[in-house]
Structure 1
Amino acid sequence: MERDISALKRGLEGQFRLGLLSSASVVAPILSLALAERMPLLEQSIRATQLSSLTKALLAHEIDMALVYLEDVTEEDFDTHLLYREQIVIFQATRDPLPRQVSWDDVANLPQCILDCALPKAAHSRLGHCAAKTIRTNNVDVLTAHIASGRYATVLPQSLATYFARIPDIRAVEVTGEGTDAAVGLATIRNELKSTPSTALLEIVRSPETIAAIQDALDLYRQFQPDGS
């Protein structure tokens, strides 16, 4: 019996390398913690970078799976597994009355601080037409400092509301129109044999516990929605 347990533990050893976009930084720990519980001897690494770097890393076998916007990867090269869909939201710190929803035209008139690598391509394209002054960064601390000042807004997926939870008077307003709803999921090289950790993770993401934890992260922004119509 002891020999069987030892063999099982050896079978769970190894490495698992996950790549992700900044937009998935809240959900990634949910997955890695669940995987660590299932495979406690597994050595994990989590790498956040831009989409082009993630796809190159997958094809070069430098990472095992990537957590990405599914609309932004090609079906010819990658197998994908949908985890959830996200609403694009504009966050700003203000005491002024706000509606619960705005259009891209409304967004374009706001001074913004934009977190690179945190939005799908469709939303990036819309933000490219912003008339107001825009600051771009790849650093979360820089982003939150600008939002806390009350002088800038930011457009992000709903799960990143946790970045701003401690900012007084933070508000989350849904953006409506094309490019405001995105599918997030796991991508692997197409038709390639999955590793044991990859297969285990695909099972984990279907569990009720994981689904509930992801939904809790997605629902946080609702606490900051304005009362306006």
Structure 2
Amino acid sequence: MIDKLEMFIALSREGHFGRAAESLGVTQPTLSAGIKALEAQLGVQLVWRGSRYGGLTPEGSRVLVWARQIVADTRTMREEMRAVRQGLAGNLRLAVIPTALTTVADLTGRFGRAHPNVRFTILSRTSIEILSMIENLEVDAGISYLDNEPLGRVVTVPLYRESYTFVCAEDSPLADRVEVGWDEIADEPLCLLTPDMQNRRIINQNFQEAGRTVTGAVESNSTVVLISHVAAGRWATILPVEMAEFLGAGKPVRIIPLKDVAARHAIGLIAPHREPHTPVLAALLREAQGISRL
């Protein structure tokens, strides 16, 4: 039944039979047959069907909660038994907000040295996508903001607080400043992350606190795109300190601290609120506590 529950979870996540089948590496007829077999086993209709997928029935929504729990518990059991035989091993899947991509190695590097048989898959995602992926069992954990928007039922380990810098070209009129205020840079041609990113919402909040609003001259979901435009000489951007120093190294840019207006926000590890965790995830949570700057 586990394979059928995984099919059902994939279908609810993708909202499309073809995409769900593709995500699992099976054919669409195999997926459809699996869902029908699960409905027959449970004695209820789980999915509204017409010419296409029509969503979950009320019974399907209730089954989805159980399906996630059962599949997660089954994976945990398998991981525990493998850990008994082989020690910590396997693939650890992490989804990370773009502004934490240059700091995630602080955690994975230290963890990997202690557990060399663990592999990592690291995906760049928005904070909202991270929560959805954790809920749908697509990733094991995430690194995201902890205190700016609701997280729901998760376990968190704070890692550090994000502080911001203004990054501009070497010939910018502001290039020689020791620090700048948010109100001073509002009229600059800014490259910013897209509005679906929580970092962008935090930046907008800082400008609002300074009595200003901004519209990005360039918007992207990639911080690499932002810094490359700054290096081209016309634009400026706002990045967390660690990311600015990493991406700006060796480029013709200046990195200038920003005077804080709104509170700095905590970045941390997010994991499902589920006991027990897999041995690998439990070890990752302990490692995160060990490197926390907070």
- What TM-score bracket applies, with the shorter chain setting the length? 0.7 to 0.9
Instruction: Provide the alpha-carbon RMSD of the alignment.
Output: 2.7
Q: Is the 8 A contact 1:100 1:174 kept in 2?
A: no
Cα drift, residue 190 of structure 1? 2.5
Q: Is the 8 A contact 2:205 2:262 kept in 1?
A: no
Aligned CA distance change for structure 1 residues 154 and 9 (closer, same or farther; 3 Å): farther
Cα drift, residue 155 of structure 1? 0.9
Q: Which structure exhibits the higher relative contact order, with contacts defined as CA atoms closer than 8 Å and separated by 6 or more residues?
A: 1
Structure 1 equivalent of residue 241 of structure 2: 158
Aligned CA distance change for structure 1 residues 160 and 188 (closer, same or farther; 3 Å): same
In structure 1, what residue type is equivalent to 2:249? A
* TM norm structure 2: 0.61
Aligned pairs, how many? 205
Which of the numbers 182, 185, 192 marks the counterpart of 2:268?
185
Greater helix fraction, Structure 1 or Structure 2: 2
Q: Distance in 2 between the 1:120 and 1:135 partners?
A: 13
Which of the numbers 75, 81, 101 marks the counterpart of 2:179?
101
Structure 2 equivalent of residue 121 of structure 1: 201
Instruction: Within 5 Å, give how 1:3-14 maps onto structure 2.
Output: 10-14=86-90
1:192-229: CA deviation from partner (whole Å, max 9, x where unpaired) = 4322122212222344xx56xx89xxxxxxxxxxxxxx
Structure 2 equivalent of residue 25 of structure 1: 101
Q: Distance in 2 between the 1:18 and 1:189 partners?
A: 12
Q: Distance in 2 between the 1:78 and 1:98 partners?
A: 44
Structure 1 equivalent of residue 31 of structure 2: none
In structure 2, what residue type is equivalent to 1:66? G
Which of the numbers 256, 270, 280 marks the counterpart of 1:172?
256
Specify the SS of the correspondent of 1:31. Answer: helix
Structure 1 equivalent of residue 280 of structure 2: 197
Matched, 1:38 2:114: yes
Which of the numbers 206, 214, 222 marks the counterpart of 1:139?
222
Cα drift, residue 16 of structure 1? 1.1
Q: Distance in 1 between the 2:149 and 2:129 partners?
A: 12
**Which protein has the larger Cα radius of gyration, Structure 1 or Structure 2?**
2
Structure 2 unaligned runs (5+)?
A: 1-81
In structure 1, what residue type is equivalent to 2:234? R
Cα drift, residue 144 of structure 1? 2.3
Instruction: Within 5 Å, give how 1:9-88 maps onto structure 2.
Output: 10-74=86-150, 76-88=152-164
Aligned CA distance change for structure 1 residues 115 and 205 (closer, same or farther; 3 Å): same
In structure 2, what residue type is equivalent to 1:163? L
* TM norm structure 1: 0.77
Greater strand fraction, Structure 1 or Structure 2: 1
Structure 1 unaligned runs (5+)?
A: 1-5, 216-229
